[in-house]
Amino acid sequence: MEQRVRDLKQEGSVVVMCAPAPKSVRGWIENVWRTGPRVGEMPGLRNRLRAVKPLDMLHAMLWPDDKTLHQVWYLLTYLLHLRRSDDHILTVSHPFSAHLIGLCLKVFFGHRWVADIGDLQDLGFSNKRTFVRKLNSWLEAIVLRKCDEVVVNAGSMKEHFVLRYGIPEEKIRIIANGCRLTFEKKEPSPENLWRLAYFGNSYPGVRDGRQELLVLDELQQKFPEGKMNMRFYGRQHRALEQEIDSRGKWMGRGICNSDEELVRAYAHVDVLISLSNLNYPGIPSKLDEYIASGKPIVHFCYARNDAAGRYLRERSAVFFEYLIGANSPEELASFMNDIRAMNSRST
């Protein structure tokens, strides 16, 4: 997104971000304006509201996702205070409801509109009933066909949209997520402790994570007691949170509220975990960040050479492709020990 904003600025645009965004967004470049609350204020308020049972039930009923009412607020703020007739509109998901802003401004005001698709609305609701899935698929098709340009993060996403919706190839532009972080030197692991971590969010029915926990349970038993820990950084779905919390001290959860905290967390990791995509044809948003960190990656998958696996090979990353149901924790432990032995020889 940062590079996209810079490209727009070079074209002489004044950028308005109609979405929650960190205060540091003003540090990207001058004349970038933001509407909406700060990101740091959102999770606490969201959790407090969802603790009220009637509001939690209403939250589950919102369509296409629980940020829809936010998008209405952002759209009204933009229309009443910021809109110019020659504005170019860029909408970025997740959440997918962000594209409702672009759809409205395209249909009713004729703005040029670029839709950056970070998630798939149809597959993201694969655990919903058939009627809702059809409704989601219909909305996704409308967004893709009405916008002037589609931006995706991988060739596999482009292939998916061309085959599923018949979107012209020339309308779809591939822009990798990239990495804005500058990584520090790794903190040495104390007494041969293995420190594993997953950075990113999880979603039931898409990037579930619970099958991977069973593998990690077995992997932990391959090392002496207390010599392996695992941390999940990001927002995890409720079922996965419960599973993580039940594991005891060797597994836990955390949140990084700034780039500095994120870099420090990476510095205390030996092996990065990439959760499998059950039915998602794109690549995880953190994959470029993983590669840039220079750390070995364990890539869980349900099919050999999936989109993320191909991307890791193209970027010459050091990784172990763990095919769930085919590979064993013993093979994974062997990969980790080989990495440590290589690191010892190089130092």
Q: Which pLDDT band, with edges at 50, 70 and 90, does 84 fall under? A: confident
Whether the ω angle into residue 281 lies within 30 degrees of 0, i.e. cis, is no
Q: Left if phi > 0, otherwise alpha if psi is -120 to 50, otherwise beta: which for 178? A: left
pLDDT in tens, 303-337: 988 989 999 999 999 999 999 999 999 999 999 99
- Sorted by where each starts, the structural domains of the chain and their CATH numbers stand as 2-174 (3.40.50.2000), 190-346 (3.40.50.2000)
Looking at residue 143, what is its pLDDT? 94
pLDDT in tens, 178-199: 888 888 766 667 777 899 999 9
For the chain, what percent of residues have pLDDT higher than 70? 80
State yes or no: pLDDT of 53 exceeds 90: no
Q: Which pLDDT band, with edges at 50, 70 and 90, does 35 fall under? A: low
**What is the mean pLDDT of the segment spanning 99-112?**
94
In the chain, DSSP assigns E strands to 15-18, 32-35, 88-92, 112-116, 149-152, 172-174, 194-199, 228-233, 251-254, 271-274, 297-301, 319-323
Looking at residue 161, what is its pLDDT? 92
State yes or no: pLDDT of 59 exceeds 80: no
State yes or no: pLDDT of 22 exceeds 50: no
**What is the mean pLDDT of the segment spanning 138-157?**
92
For the chain, what percent of residues have pLDDT higher than 90? 45
Of the candidates 184, 185, 100, 189, the one whose C-alpha atom is nearest the C-alpha of residue 147 is: 100
Q: Are strands 297-301 and 271-274 parallel, antiparallel or unpaired?
A: parallel
**What is the mean pLDDT of the segment spanning 225-236?**
92
State yes or no: pLDDT of 272 exceeds 90: yes
Looking at residue 229, what is its pLDDT? 94
Looking at residue 219, what is its pLDDT? 95
State yes or no: pLDDT of 28 exceeds 50: no
Count other Cβ atoms within 10 Å, centred on residue 22. 14
Q: What is the mean pLDDT of the chain?
A: 83
Looking at residue 41, what is its pLDDT? 47
Copy the structure tokens of residue 147. 């916008």
